[in-house]
Amino acid sequence: MELAELIGLRPVPCGGLLVALTRRCPMSCAHCSTNSSMAAAEQPDPEHLLRFIGSFGGQDRPEVVMLTGGEPLLLPELAARLAGLARAAGSRTALLSGMFFARDGRIPDRIMRAITALDHFSASLDVHHEREVPRAQVLRALRAVLDAGIPVSVHLTGTGPEDPYLADAVADIRRVFAGRVPLLVNEVRPLGRAAGLVRATPPGPDGSRATPCTLAAWPVVAYDGTVAACCNQWTVDRRPVPPHLRLGHIADDDWPAVRERSLGSPVLRMLRAVGPQRLHARYGTSPAPAGYCRSCHVLADRPDVLAGAARDAGGRVGEILDRLSTEQQLAAGPAALVSRMGCARYAHLVESLPAAEESRR
């Protein structure tokens, strides 16, 4: 599985499942959105996770399972077992790592076994990571993974499109791999430890136009086993999860139940199709709070908006609206999605280039 295919599935409702294996991480990056550290003991019960992934069926499964953290490769045997269960049902598995294990220039055997059980491997890289694991060591490890036959990508994070670090890192990675390793380039958000590093983005659209919420497409298994409908870190960490964004818990629910709730929820259909601010503008009797995600979180306290969504998206019309929005985003392609959700200047790098094409650039 290549990065463009993985990102291309992002708008598909229940096309993927995000799993936070642990909040623990041996690195201490100043920009960490999840507040991860080795002191953070939160992680889903492994047996519950195995049972949940084992509930996939051949005709009822996500296309991809994305393992994240914290640092998921602190649990390499669990990651490999989950990947095996997913593959048995026809799902593919990707994993994003901070590359803590690459500090000495080699990949430990138990971690390499986990990586080779995957269908895609991504390395997280930024100025903070490089203070703990040099870039050259990360790229050397990625070469070893490529040589083992596993597709790889780099998830780069910087302060914005003019960040000189991003320009330097992109050029270096493109040179080392001749453009054949794709990159997903994002900007630091004011979440977790990064809350004091960057300013919050200006308020989003005023609701006069539809702005589909891609974050509400894939269910997320959070650190305590709660399954949320949204991967925004505010939602993953907030307890209780706003009722319209809670899909269940892996101790009590299986994948078919979670999928049915996600696909059948009128408010989630509308969020995926037009976004929360459009919902407030269409159905609300009071103004929406500033901020795209904040206007979603308050929906639990806006019965007028929820009633409007249920009325208009509760049946066949809601299914069609959800499907049409998905089809439009799929037609636009993965680079368009990254332009909207990540760093637009580098969005085209989500697709790798053949060496010959790269040499002409």
Number of domain units in the chain: 1
The CATH number assigned to the domain holding 20 equals 3.20.20.70
**Is residue 349, in this structure, part of any structural domain at all?**
yes
Instruction: Supply the range of the domain harboring residue 16.
Output: 3-212+333-360
**Is residue 190, in this structure, part of any structural domain at all?**
yes
Rounded distance, CA 68 to CA 24, Å? 11
**Is residue 304, in this structure, part of any structural domain at all?**
no
**Is residue 295, in this structure, part of any structural domain at all?**
no
Rounded distance, CA 134 to CA 131, Å? 7
**Is residue 152, in this structure, part of any structural domain at all?**
yes
**Is residue 150, in this structure, part of any structural domain at all?**
yes
Cβ atoms 14, 262 nearer than 8 A: yes
How do the pLDDT tens digits run along the chain, 361 residues long? 999 999 999 999 999 999 999 988 888 766 666 676 677 778 999 999 999 999 999 899 999 999 998 899 999 999 999 999 999 999 999 999 999 999 887 899 999 999 999 999 999 999 988 988 999 999 999 999 999 999 999 999 998 999 999 999 999 999 999 999 999 999 876 545 444 444 544 444 445 566 899 999 999 999 999 999 999 888 888 899 999 999 999 999 999 999 999 999 999 999 999 999 999 999 999 888 888 889 999 999 999 999 999 999 998 999 999 999 999 999 999 999 999 889 999 999 999 765 335 443 4
Helix (H, G, I), strand (E, B) or coil at 257: helix
**Is residue 87, in this structure, part of any structural domain at all?**
yes
**Is residue 9, in this structure, part of any structural domain at all?**
yes
- pLDDT recorded at residue 208: 52
81 vs 41, 46, 62, 85, 326, CA distance in Å? 21, 10, 17, 6, 31
- pLDDT recorded at residue 74: 96
Contacts of 256 (CB under 8 A, 6+ apart): 55, 57, 60
Rounded distance, CA 177 to CA 69, Å? 26
Rounded distance, CA 341 to CA 187, Å? 9
Q: How many CA atoms are closer than 13 Å to the CA of 289, on its beta-carbon side? A: 10
Strands 220-221 and 152-158: unpaired
- Please state the pTM of the whole predicted model: 0.91
